[in-house]
Chain A
Amino acid sequence: MKKDLLGIGDLTRDEIYLVLDTAEAMREIAERPIKKVPTLRGKTVVNLFYEPSTRTRTSFEIAEKRLSADTLNVAVAVSSVQKGETLVDTARNIEAMAPDMIVIRHASSGAPHLLSRVCKSRIINAGDGMHEHPTQALLDAFTIREHKKRIEGLKVTIVGDLLHSRVLRSNVLLLTQLGAEVWVSGPPTLVPVGIERLGVKVSSSVDEAVTDADVIMMLRIQNERMHGAFFPSVREYFNVFGMTEARVRRAKPDVIIMHPGPMNRGVEIASEVADGPYSVILEQVANGVAVRMAVLYLLAGGQEGD
């Protein structure tokens, strides 16, 4: 593994499998009476979240605590950032207190890469703008592999707001690297130009995209990133692109439905589907802790050439 986890693009196929296999071993810790191992004792991890997040921040914090790391959460809303401090200055100040790892979530794409250049600490990208969210893609792959026993050769359909989604980018990079056939679908206004160059098939018809799919992954409509009218109304969006039971029936009978959360029920996904038997949305959350433990453990070691 490299020093930092900035994106899926940095990982080789073997490294992806190493994370997934390590996560498999980590998962058992959640079933013990004492859900804690001493592995990262004495290591300090700073969670620097510049964007609201419940799931990812909680998941990282639980993962850190289960590995016995000392964790520190910097809530930007009440920090010096509000007083005008730049990201690099904040990072340098935090680094002066000698943490071992910094987990960063930022609204600007590339923020973790900037930190990576100025910090000696290991940097983990917990989502940067519209760029990448590598641990989400890893936990999605873990969940898929658990259900399908493989990733190669599967048809994975990703539907929704493709333009603003870092989850999409990380997932496409990971799934195509492991040999899955990835289809994407969404309103033309929310399909980034040139997305087919990532090796995915694009369809404006959700019905076509989900036909015979092994996995359907729904993406959230990210209102907070939308500055303009991308579709006429929520109701129309649901009619044309929402995941309904009728659409799920076009996929393979053993299809699994995923969503990185938080869900907009009745916008991108119908409640019957989100709560249906094929939904693995809560398993994704549980697996997220194990996958993040694996990433923290693997990055805490040395690198080649150290």
Chain B
Amino acid sequence: MPIVLDADRIGRSLTRIAHEILERNRSLDELALVGIRTRGVPIAKRIAAAIHDENGHDVPTGALDITLYRDDLMRHAVGPQPLVRKTEIGFSIDDKRILLVDDVLYTGRTIRAALDALIDFGRPKSIQLIVLVDRGHRELPIKADYVGKNIPTSPSQSVQVHLLEIDGRDEVEVTEP
């Protein structure tokens, strides 16, 4: 099971993304981070912390659960329903520049669901996408604005992101079936 990113590389990728955000967005007041549950949430918090370390600015951060928006929910009635968790966005997203955060970008279907969910909360000025890993194989016309690392994979492989806050260690590994 090859480890493609270790703790140090994950840390540096997120710091670099924080710098890119500062470079590309002149007005920080309009920015807000929204992490997609589960692992997008701690990544969003780390990016917020990195931005704070850089220039002392606090970017509001929220958590989005996309379960109720999934396009595969009711398609095949096999097995129990996926667990729904809380969406917590403690600020108005109207006229904000939203930075949507997820761990892995793959088919793009999660992001499609997240975009639908976000629009139900208001009308942001723009939405940009941050992912720690882009593994390719898109099924929808979706592209990330900030990428920690591009990892070429085959569809049969699986990409596993482990984060300190949830899994007790920072590591990205690619596993074979």
- Stretch from B21-29, B41-49, B75-83, B137-145 forming part of the interface with A: B75-83
State which of A28, A39, A298 has its C-beta within 8 Å of the C-beta of B87.
A28
- CB neighbours (8 Å) of A298 from chain B are 80-81
A residues with a Cβ closer than 8 A to B are 1, 18, 21-22, 24-26, 28, 32-34, 36-40, 42-43, 67, 294, 297-298, 300-304, 306
A1 near B80: Cβ-Cβ < 8 Å: yes
B86 near A301: Cβ-Cβ < 8 Å: no
B residues with a Cβ closer than 8 A to A are 65, 68-69, 73-74, 76-81, 83-88, 116-117, 120-122
B120 near A32: Cβ-Cβ < 8 Å: yes
State which of A28, A33, A38 has its C-beta within 8 Å of the C-beta of B122.
A33
- CB neighbours (8 Å) of B65 from chain A are 25
A34 near B120: Cβ-Cβ < 8 Å: yes
Q: Which 10 A-B pairs have the closest CB atoms?
A: A301-B81, A302-B77, A37-B68, A25-B84, A39-B68, A34-B120, A302-B78, A25-B86, A22-B84, A302-B79
- Bound-state CA distance A18–B84 (Å) is 10
A32 near B121: Cβ-Cβ < 8 Å: yes
A38 near B69: Cβ-Cβ < 8 Å: yes
Known A25-B86, A32-B120; contact A297-B74, beta-carbon cutoff 8 A? no
- CB neighbours (8 Å) of A37 from chain B are 68-69, 117, 120
A302 near B86: Cβ-Cβ < 8 Å: no
- CB neighbours (8 Å) of B87 from chain A are 25, 28
A301 near B83: Cβ-Cβ < 8 Å: no
Contacts A/B (CB < 8 Å), 7 sampled: A22-B83, A25-B85, A25-B87, A33-B122, A302-B76, A302-B79, A306-B77
- CB neighbours (8 Å) of B81 from chain A are 297-298, 300-301
Distance in angstroms from A14 CB to nearest chain B CB is 11
State which of B68, B69, B80, B122 has its C-beta within 8 Å of the C-beta of A302.
B80
- Bound-state CA distance A124–B80 (Å) is 17
B74 near A43: Cβ-Cβ < 8 Å: yes
- Bound-state CA distance A300–B79 (Å) is 11
B76 near A26: Cβ-Cβ < 8 Å: no
Known A297-B84, A304-B80; contact A38-B74, beta-carbon cutoff 8 A? no
- Bound-state CA distance A43–B84 (Å) is 19
Residue of B nearest to A40 (CB): B74
B84 near A38: Cβ-Cβ < 8 Å: no
Distance in angstroms from A177 CB to nearest chain B CB is 20
B120 near A300: Cβ-Cβ < 8 Å: no
A38 near B83: Cβ-Cβ < 8 Å: no
Residue of A nearest to B116 (CB): A38
- CB neighbours (8 Å) of A25 from chain B are 65, 84-87
A300 near B74: Cβ-Cβ < 8 Å: yes
- Bound-state CA distance A175–B29 (Å) is 49
Distance in angstroms from A279 CB to nearest chain B CB is 26
